[in-house]
Amino acid sequence: MADPASSAPPPATEANPEATAVMPESAAALVEMEQLRIKLAESDERAKNHWSEYLRAVAEQDNIRKRALRDIEAAQRYGLEKFLGEILPVKDGLDQGVENADKADAAALRDGQQATLRLLTKALEKAGVTELHPVGQPFDAHQHEAIMAQESSTAEPNSVLAVVQRGYTLNGRLLRPARVIVAKAPADPKS
């Protein structure tokens, strides 16, 4: 019976240069190693692509951040420009009223004041400012500031009887509460 070691080809040496050093199981390992090298090269290429995409995304995010900061700065710097364009005619009307106060009669001054007030009201409305008109409405502590309660036989108790100072909202958010007088039930005359 032949020795298994003797049936394998002899190792390559200087004396036997034609002997092969690759064994059949080594050939499979070489093929597998070559496949792994190919997969590694593909993985390296994908990693390079992902890194490049990541760098582009970071740069784009930085550009968006810088653009947003510029937009915020411009909005802060020039945000009032439109509103002030609406207010300047009001100032012009007031200036005219003061300049012509000595020349005009009371009726003309009143008409000028009313026109100026209309301009101001229109400018405030365009800016999103709304005046609160709470007379007759139930008292709302979120929009009204009660400065006093007054007995009333005609108004519902806890309703707004009169407005002392007007309130305003800006785009639905309270800017200043209306200062109001709140109705209360008349005192019982029997007590």
DSSP letters along 122-151, please?
HHHHHTTEEEE--TTSBP-TTTEEEEEEEE
Strands 178-184 and 160-165, by their bridges, are antiparallel
Beta bridge partners of 148: 181
Average pLDDT over residues 1-29: 59
- The answer to whether the Cα torsion of 62, 64, 68, 71 is positive or negative is positive
All structural domains of the chain, each given as residue ranges with its CATH number in brackets, are 130-186 (2.30.22.10)
Asked whether the beta carbons of 139 and 159 are under 8 A apart, the reply is yes
- The per-residue pLDDT for range 174-184, each reduced to its tens digit, is 999 999 999 99
First to last CA, the chain: 134
- The per-residue pLDDT for range 21-59, each reduced to its tens digit, is 555 578 888 899 999 999 999 999 999 999 999 999 999
What per-residue confidence (pLDDT) applies to 147?
96
Residue 9 phi, psi dihedral angles, 5° rounding: -65, 145
3-state secondary structure of 183: strand
Average pLDDT over residues 123-146: 94
Q: And the tokens for 133?
A: 């008109």
pTM over 0.75: no
Q: Please determine, for residue 75, whether its predicted confidence score (pLDDT) is greater than 90.
A: no
Q: Please determine, for residue 152, whether its predicted confidence score (pLDDT) is greater than 80.
A: yes
Average pLDDT over residues 58-81: 91
What per-residue confidence (pLDDT) applies to 40?
95
Q: Please determine, for residue 4, whether its predicted confidence score (pLDDT) is greater than 60.
A: no
Residue 1 pLDDT class (50, 70, 90 cuts): very low
pLDDT, averaged across the chain? 86
3-state secondary structure of 110: helix
